[in-house]
Each structure stands twice: as C-alpha cells, then as structure tokens.
Amino acid sequence: MVLQSCLHLSVIINPFNSRAPLLQLETYLSSMKKLIPLLCCIFLIGCESSPSGTVSTAAEDLQVSRTNVEARLQELQLSLPTLGQPLANYVHAVQSGKLVFLAGKGPTRADGTRINGKLGADLTVEEGYEAARLVGLQQLAALKLELGDLSRVKRIVKVHGMVNATPDFTDHSKVINGFSDLMVEVFGEAGKHARAAVGMSSLPGGMAVEIEAIVEVY
C-alpha cells in the first residue's frame, strides 16, 4: 500500500522533471511532509500481528484442552470398562458427520453385574444416581472405542435418560444427575448438555436406568 501511494504521487508530481517550476517542487516537498505521518501509520498497521498468530494460539489452547481430557480421567481415578459385543442387531455408536450417536446403555459394574430394580421401590435416589454414573463410564468407553481417543470429543450435546420407576416416583432428574455430573467432571463446560430425564414402567432386563447420548466431535 505504501509503495502504491508513493508511485501514485510520483506520477502526479515529478520534481525531477526539468520543466517543473521551483514553486511546484516546494509544493511537492510540503505535501510529502504532511503525508509522512500518514504513511508511517499505514506501515505500522501492516506490521501488527498477523491472523496466523491467532490461529497458532488457538491451536495450542485446543491441544492443551484436548490433552487434559485423558489427564482428567487419571486425576479422577476413573477406569473405563471393556465393552463386549452388543447382544442384538445394533452397534455401540454410529458417527454421522461431526456427531456420534451412542446407543442406550445400562448400569454395569466392573465385575459385569448390573444394577437392577425400580426407583421408588427397590432403589433409593442415591443408588439410582450411582447407577446413572456407571452408565456414564459405559458411554465414555463406547466413545473411546468409536473415536480411539476421548480428546476428539468437542461437546456432549444431548442426553436422554430413562429411569425404571414406580408411577409415584418423581425424582428422575436427580437420578440422571449421576450421568450429567460425570460428563461435566470429565469434560468441563463441554460436558454440559441438553437433557431429558423420564420415567419408564420397565427397562430391558429390569435395569435401573438406561441412557443414550449425542456427542459432537472434532
């Protein structure tokens, strides 16, 4: 831009033209004096930090954030279970574009046993909460199996929690909090999600809760 401005001025006023009178030369020098501060400003603006610096910083921040997911699991002393093959004609997860759809899962303990029973009859809210948290570990394991690395998770988008409960049970949300709280513990703000927590008259195998989720990935 500076070079173009100078070339433009040299075309309009050429002090080295032998036909130019002395007055024209003085006018030219006076004009250049006034333009010097403007040209300096243009030069300084052009020398400011380029967008590539911002991209680099964002990439570094992203790398730190993504690395911290695995570190956070270790900090929380969480061990993800090993998932077996689905028992019916479905898969643990399906990725479509930037979204991963996780199949519904129940609360399976590390020894392979499952928490069964109805909230409001067989299980307390606290036991239901722990059951939902176990489902969270199952879903994290499904995500890692699908993605290869949990650092690829960008956002927990939607959670659908189903609670096996008696007709008069009303604390479904408190039960599904076990899942939601775990997602926020692991992923921070990215773990916060839209959610539904509903009561069901029964669930497969009599399990206490079943939860499915939608996750956005990098």
CA 138, distance to chain mean position in Å, is 20
Total residue length of the chain: 218
Residue 180 identity (one-letter amino acid):
S
This prediction's pTM = 0.70
Q: What are phi and psi of 5, to 5 degrees?
A: -65, -40
Enumerate domains of the chain plus CATH numbers: 2-46 (no CATH), 86-217 (3.30.1330.40)
User: What backbone torsions phi and psi does residue 157 show, to the nearest 5 degrees?
Assistant: -90, -50
Q: What are 28-78's pLDDT values in tens digits?
A: 556 666 666 666 556 555 545 444 444 445 444 444 455 588 889 999 999
Which of 11-15, 119-123, 161-165, 172-176 has the least mean pLDDT? Answer: 11-15
Burial class (CB in 10 A: 0-12, 13-18, 19+), 156: buried
What is the DSSP-derived secondary structure letter of residue 60?
H
Q: Which helix (H) or strand (E) holds 106?
A: none
How far are the Cα atoms of 18, 185, 208 from residue 165, in angstroms, in the given order?
100, 27, 8
Asked whether the beta carbons of 158 and 200 are under 8 A apart, the reply is: no
